[in-house]
């Protein structure tokens, strides 16, 4: 896919794009955001409700096959954790008062695969398995889905395969559930994917194909191979409606948690949500679900690494998937492996354009520093990608563009939900190394 050279030429002269090219952290308010109800809201609401029901049908099965979900009766959900010390630490570090309540949505603790991908990825595999079993007459909606553990199901699913391209966490989610059900799974991993993720998958019997190039190439190759095999189902991170729906279910789950804390977003207590963004499906689905529930009382921001601001570039230029960060000379190299995506999903970009409040970018060093600060202040351990959300409220209050964006809102009692998207499965020695990098960076910063 190549971009119109004239359009590119004009873009390269744009002063905002120049900042992206220089890998400066930026804050961008989305001028395309519209107030009022979403397009086709009824239809989406129906589909998301159906996804929730499907997850409930599978819950008894999940509870038995993944014992860590037993207490939650097979629901794959994460806690909502109030941040107090971290907020104070950031206020001190950035010399900036940060009003409102801060909550961490702990998707790093999601069972089965330890990242936000456990929402979309697992959902899409379940949906596919259910469809095959229905077609074969082996399963009905009214059955107790624990029967899926019977050998005949594994024998049946082993006739089918599933393929996916991934920077790591999506592959991990799909591999874990796919292998448990009995599918043959192939994960096409980009160069960014961590060794431990590949090792874990191979241990589960998943075929892992490695690529020296980036995520978009891994997806493309996976798609190509899958197309040649009629028994292979390709999970397409760049275009999948099913992944999107799986992520969107998060919204009603969060609402239940906010209700329990007596938080009802409104004009005086607006909800601000910060989501790390790679190709866009995860944050897009969550954002869409939240908008359907809370309308104009929720404000959603996407966070990307300064070297991989693909969604921001796609939205800003209006070119969506037709432009890649490579087109403006960025290298798409970042410690935030889960966000190392050069070309955004056009499907997601177009859906969220009217509802997203803005995007901002974060430097890798900031991710490490935040990782360290969160670990010492709250004892929460996230992978570098997952810290991108944490920088959002800081940017909102401390940059000129951010302040302009919140000028019209009541910020004193605002609720800030920082989405922690991954980390609980990172091997301890690797986490300790991240933690040390952050501590060193912070120490050097203090010496200045």
Ligand X SMILES: *Cc1c(COP(=O)(O)O)cnc(C)c1O
Residues that bind ligand X (CB under 6 A): 115-117, 169, 276-283, 338-339, 383, 385-386, 421-422
The pair of structure tokens assigned to 327 is 């087109």
Across the beta sheet with 358-362, the strand order is 27-29, 358-362, 298-305, 271-276, 415-420, 101-106, 80-83
> What number of residues does the chain have?
448
- Cβ proximity to ligand X: between 156 and 419 the closer is 419
Shortest gap between Cβ of 115 and ligand X (angstroms)?
5
Residues 385 and 341: their CA atoms lie apart, in Å, by 12
The residues, any chain, with a CB within 8 Å of residue 220's CB and separated by 6 or more, are: 165
The residues, any chain, with a CB within 8 Å of residue 32's CB and separated by 6 or more, are: 315, 353, 354
- Cβ proximity to ligand X: between 148 and 380 the closer is 380
- Cβ proximity to ligand X: between 132 and 348 the closer is 348
In 3D, which of 422, 441, 415, 408 has the Cα closest to residue 167? 422
Residue nearest to ligand X (CB): 278
Shortest gap between Cβ of 215 and ligand X (angstroms)?
9
Which residue's entry shows tokens 């978009």?
216
Residues 362 and 243: their CA atoms lie apart, in Å, by 26
Shortest gap between Cβ of 92 and ligand X (angstroms)?
27
Which residue's entry shows tokens 């930026």?
26
Shortest gap between Cβ of 277 and ligand X (angstroms)?
5
At 233 the three-state DSSP class reads strand
Shortest gap between Cβ of 370 and ligand X (angstroms)?
14
Q: Which residues of 59-69 are buried (b: 16+ CB within 10 A; e: fewer)?
A: bbbbbebbeeb
Shortest gap between Cβ of 176 and ligand X (angstroms)?
14
In 3D, which of 280, 278, 302, 289 has the Cα closest to residue 346? 280
């Amino acid at each position: 896919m190549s971009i119109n050279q004239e359009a590119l030429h004009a873009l390269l002269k744009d002063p905002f794009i120049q900042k992206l090219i220089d890998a400066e952290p930026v804050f961008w308010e989305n001028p395309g955001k519209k107030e009022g109800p979403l397009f086709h809201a009824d239809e989406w609401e129906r589909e998301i409700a159906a996804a929730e029901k499907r997850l409930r049908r599978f819950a008894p099965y999940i509870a038995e096959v993944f014992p860590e979900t037993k207490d939650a009766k097979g629901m794959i959900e994460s806690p909502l954790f109030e941040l107090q010390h971290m907020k104070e630490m950031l206020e001190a570090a950035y010399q900036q008062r940060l009003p409102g309540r801060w909550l961490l949505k702990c998707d790093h603790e999601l069972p089965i695969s330890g990242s936000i991908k456990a929402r979309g990825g697992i959902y899409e595999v379940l949906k596919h398995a259910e469809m095959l079993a229905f077609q074969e007459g082996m399963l009905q909606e009214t059955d107790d889905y624990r029967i899926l553990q019977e050998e005949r199901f594994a024998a049946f699913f082993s006739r089918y395969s599933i393929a996916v391209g991934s920077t790591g966490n999506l592959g991990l989610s799909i591999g874990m559930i796919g292998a448990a059900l009995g599918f043959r799974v192939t994960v096409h991993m980009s160069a960014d994917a961590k060794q431990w993720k590949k090792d874990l998958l191979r241990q589960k019997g998943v075929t892992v194909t490695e690529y020296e190039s980036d995520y978009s190439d891994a997806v493309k190759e996976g798609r190509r191979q899958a197309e040649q095999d009629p028994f292979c189902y390709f999970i397409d991170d760049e275009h999948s409606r099913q992944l999107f729906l799986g992520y969107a279910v998060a919204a009603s789950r969060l609402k239940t948690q906010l209700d329990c804390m007596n938080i009802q977003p409104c004009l005086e207590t607006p909800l601000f949500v910060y989501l790390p963004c790679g190709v866009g499906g995860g944050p897009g689905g969550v954002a869409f679900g939240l908008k359907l529930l809370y309308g104009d009382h929720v404000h959603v921001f996407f966070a990307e690494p300064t070297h991989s601001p693909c969604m921001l570039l796609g939205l800003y230029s209006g070119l969506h998937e037709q432009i890649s960060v490579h087109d403006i000379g960025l290298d798409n190299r970042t410690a935030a492996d889960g966000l190392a995506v050069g070309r955004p999903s056009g499907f997601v970009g177009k859906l969220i354009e009217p509802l997203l409040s803005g995007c901002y970018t974060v430097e890798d060093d900031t991710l490490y520093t935040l990782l360290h600060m969160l670990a010492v202040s709250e004892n929460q351990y996230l992978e570098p990608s997952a810290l991108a959300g944490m920088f959002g409220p800081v940017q909102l209050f401390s940059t000129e563009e951010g302040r302009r964006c919140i000028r019209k809102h009541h910020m004193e009692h605002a609720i800030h939900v920082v989405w922690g998207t991954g980390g609980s499965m990172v091997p301890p020695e690797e986490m300790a190394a991240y933690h040390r990098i952050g501590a060193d960076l912070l120490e050097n910063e203090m010496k200045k």
